[in-house]
Structure 1
């Protein structure tokens, strides 16, 4: 994985010194909170309901065990013993004291990490496929390109004060596991007719108040022009993106207003002055960065391990875990393991300091000392020998990290919501826990099959509810917390934005609402059909009819009205 050079170390050192002085000035009231706001946001620090929250960047979701252990150290010494992994492949700590934040950043720098550009109107953390480098369907490892973009975008002076935040994702495989369609820029590695490597470029995707799937503005961009073309996109957006209304400031609004074709024309025009500039990527530079991502020293292993096969035959629980949490690896004899952070009763994405340390230990012993964070709020050990899978499962199970629910209804994506976030209209975590408890039967979950359930506490959509097969959005209704439900959303190669089924529901009604939706699916599906396939075939009407049946009024506690 990438290691800091002298420039990275210098940038981190200077930024921490600058920020330490800014904190000193705030604490002494030389700076007002209003003056301090943009300064702290540039360093990933938010003021939430109860305390400051610090968001730490995990570039393209890749971590060393030394970095992972630093998270555990921060959780123990500066927070309340846990951290929250996010849909941006980052980690957040929700109980931070302002005066301690410079020291935290100093600790992070000691393991080559930072919180730069995890907030503010700038280019945020570059995200990618959590299986990058090991996926069986990979075309090109996207991590060197993601790292190049990280270096290019960090403190880029032209793009430090954009109209609004900006998110870029890169996918290097046949299957899109980076949700590129809902990013401001989504890049997909492709080959042209001559076999040359390049990118399909999507622009203008996003969620929030105006959920939109990105538009393809270039079918093939030679890899050498990745930075110059993105710079052209950024310049058009920086010049014409709205600054008078933050709710209309994302690039998706600009693309929608002028049309993807006109936006592409403007980008191409801007690109004429950039395409052969010094920012053109050379093979030498690409190789320099790619050398940090060379394959591990994999052993030559048998395709089938006898002891592994025996455990499969003898242990149903182990077999269930293999089906859901273990993915194929491109090297024979190895496998990818997804550790679930979605045990029933736990806030989705949360991990204790003890669990964080434990995962680091697992990675050191079994996975070349590296791990990944997924945008679905789970953790990945990417290089497990097949012969070690049973031991990894046993150890992970003892730590509450082996729930066999990856891709199932209890693998809920959920933002921290109103329990922490000052922007939220409603709580998210209790709703996720109540729904998970309703479906806490693995046989029932496996019968339902693939299901993505996403929950956001407000319209900012940090829980990606728009692309959940079932999406739940917290809304405020006369000071009370209610929940709007949509179905038919999806991420990946067949991305779609869900459709709202009708008026909102109270918190106590939500488990019953979800179960009614699921029952319609189980009743009406055809053999082999996933939930998303059924919703696309039937539309929302049968689900809506079942959910808004009058009997739901009597099902709700205290007679709360589902039609209100």
Structure 2
């Protein structure tokens, strides 16, 4: 069923101010980035990496391949050591970069076997100096990778069912999925078939390999809404329709970075069988109507802001689906946190255990030992989460405590402090060319310090602390109780590495009444080595001022508090 309402249909004439929208302005590229993508969008560069660059070494790499097409295969040059944050914005990319790469291993739905975890660990140890970080998009990132090693790394990854195809770049990125898909006792629906269908059909598809910018997807069947759906380009959240049964509520247009915007419901109900087709329709809308002239306006959220959800839904139905989607209800407010930390009974009577590394930092040897530990406890399945956590599945009840002890010995706590549980951090200046400030080391030091300072306090719930090295918000600073955005700050007349503070953000999976962005306080900045002092101060003020009778959260208090209380 289609509509003839022309007011909601897209224009068919060139815009007076072209934005590079293919279906409106034509496909003539309006910037250098769009030019090289039209020549070769990046999928073909793997052959050159394997047959030319791995043999000729770093200096043989074509600059356009290096700074553009390599991303499609999960490869970014990493930051050269010793370049301080004050020079990030003044140096050219080739001056910032080292002759080594960050390699992102794509893990759709966060689903791993112990064989795969061991394989990543061995690759990290042999080719990446033992580095490994859990990302907040369920991937694993390695560092110090040389282009000469890539053919062997790909061979090993693909032998265990993993890869790096479209792990970065202007393409459909990893599909976030519920870490407890298929095993949680309170799950509404297992989204694994939908995730597998999308990835098998469209990852590596030439028709979607040149999008305006990155395209992020999330799908969950769990009532905790555990995939941060509000900040993805397209998301499907399980819901029960009063007459059509279990399906998904459709969201589009979320994203953070320097211009944060939460996604919006289209009010449409999507059956499980329709998810792939609807996903494909939204991806094609982004390809055909997304802005391409300016990179900083090229995310789907800007198109949604112009169109609104009603027009977006109409164009999706009229031009890409050919039928109308039924209206559907919103998903109920989550009653549990979505990070899955701790011990939980599965639907089959066994248990899953969610464990917390400090700020996502792990290592190759740790992954290898983790695989052995899990296998020794009778399981072969591990999941990563959008909260930089690890979930181990299928543990018999009589082996739970033994596993928790083994995880503790590895530095993975299943019963962490609330501050450790709630802290995540991006890569930071250690490896990232965009970063201004270090993150992992400062956040780790703050967690260890705060565990001693706040140990005597009865926190009513986890306090989320997100630490980011630049304004791009890879660590989701605007959706944390306390979000720290890396920049150079002036304290006592001296310019030092530090952070701008965002307070009171959160998403549905944080057990919030509703998702919202944090507030900023004019002039409120923290030195990089002063995180613990600030968090200690503001959390204690919250505990003094909060309305305990109403079970007021930190986020609620932060939005109503006077600026003086937040200093």
TM-score (norm 1): 0.80
Aligned residue among 51, 74, 79 for 1:21: 51
Q: Does the C-alpha gap of structure 1 residues 62 and 79 become closer, same or farther in structure 2, counting only changes over 3 Å?
A: same
Partner in structure 2 of residue 327 of structure 1: 344
Question: 1:128: which partner in 2?
Answer: 177
- 1:119 corresponds in structure 2 to 168
Q: Residues 503 and 558 of structure 2 are in contact (CA less than 8 Å); yes or no, is this contact kept in structure 1?
A: no
State how far apart, in whole Å, the 1-side matches of 2:526 and 2:173 are: 34
RMSD: 2.6
Provide closer, same or farther for how the CA distance between residues 68 and 245 of structure 1 changes in structure 2, counting only shifts above 3 A. Answer: same
Q: 1:304 maps to which residue?
A: none
Higher mean C-alpha deviation, range 228-237 or range 105-114: 228-237
> Per-residue CA shift, 1:366-395, capped at 9, x if unaligned?
253110111111211122222111211222
Q: CA deviation at 1:252?
A: 0.4
Query: Bigger shift: 230-239 or 457-466?
Result: 230-239
Residue matched to 1:472: 484
Pairs within 5 Å for 1:258-337: 258-273=307-322, 325-332=342-349, 334-337=350-353
**Is this contact kept in 2: 1:183–1:206, CA < 8 A?**
yes
Q: Distance in 2 between matches of 1:28 and 1:352?
A: 25
Q: Partner of 1:490 in structure 2?
A: 506
1:95 to 122, 127, 144: 144
**What CA deviation, in whole Å up to 9, does each residue of 1:265-310 have, x standing for no partner?**
221221344889xxxxxxxxxxxxxxxxxxxxxxxxxxxxxxxxxx
Structure-2 change in CA distance of 1:224 and 1:275 (3 Å): farther
Distance, in Å, in 2 between the alignment partners of 1:274 and 1:223 is 16
Give the Cα–Cα distance (whole angstroms) in 2 for the partners of residues 444 and 55 of structure 1. Answer: 39
**Does structure 1 residue 546 correspond to structure 2 residue 565?**
yes
Counterpart secondary structure, 1:189? strand
The CA deviation string for residues 231-288 of structure 1, in whole angstroms up to 9 with x for no partner, is 2222222122111111110000110122222222221221344889xxxxxxxxxxxx
5+ residue gaps, structure 1, are 1-12, 277-322, 343-347, 549-564
Q: Distance in 2 between matches of 1:213 and 1:341?
A: 28
The answer as to whether partners of 2:437 and 2:528 remain within 8 angstroms in 1 is no
Structure 1 residue matching 2:438: 3-state secondary structure:
coil
Q: Name 2:20's counterpart in structure 1.
A: none
Q: Count matched residues.
A: 482
* Contact persistence 2:119–2:157 (CA under 8 A): yes
SS in structure 1 of the partner of residue 446 of structure 2? helix
Q: Is 1:434 the counterpart of 2:445 in the alignment?
A: yes
Preserved CA contact (<8 Å) 2:481 2:554: no
Partner residue, 1:396: 407
Quick check: 1:386 aligned with 2:397? Answer: yes
Contact 1:26 1:33 in 2 (8 A): no
Larger RCO, structure (CA 8 Å, separation 6 or more): 2
Distance 1:538 1:498 in 2: 9
How far 1:137 sits from its partner (Å)?
2.1
Match of 2:286 in 1: 237
Matches within 5 A, 1:512-523: 512-523=533-544
Q: 411-420 or 389-398: which moved more?
A: 389-398
Report the 3-state secondary structure (helix = DSSP H, G, I; strand = E; otherwise coil) of the residue aligned with 1:253.
helix
State the distance in 2 between where 1:528 and 1:386 align.
37
Q: Does 1:500 align with 2:549?
A: no
Q: CA deviation at 1:24?
A: 4.2
Q: Are the counterparts in 2 of residues 229 and 275 from structure 1 also a CA contact under 8 Å? A: no
Seen in structure 2, the aligned counterparts of structure 1 residues 384 and 29 have a Cα distance that, compared at 3 Å, is closer
Matches within 5 A, 1:300-379: 325-332=342-349, 334-342=350-358, 348-379=359-390
TM-score by length of 2: 0.79
CA distance in 1, matches of 2:505, 2:487: 19
Tell whether 2:123 aligns with 1:64: no
User: 1:46 is matched with which residue?
Assistant: 76
Decide whether the 8 Å contact of 2:426 with 2:467 is kept in 1: yes
How far off is 1:150 after superposition?
A: 1.0
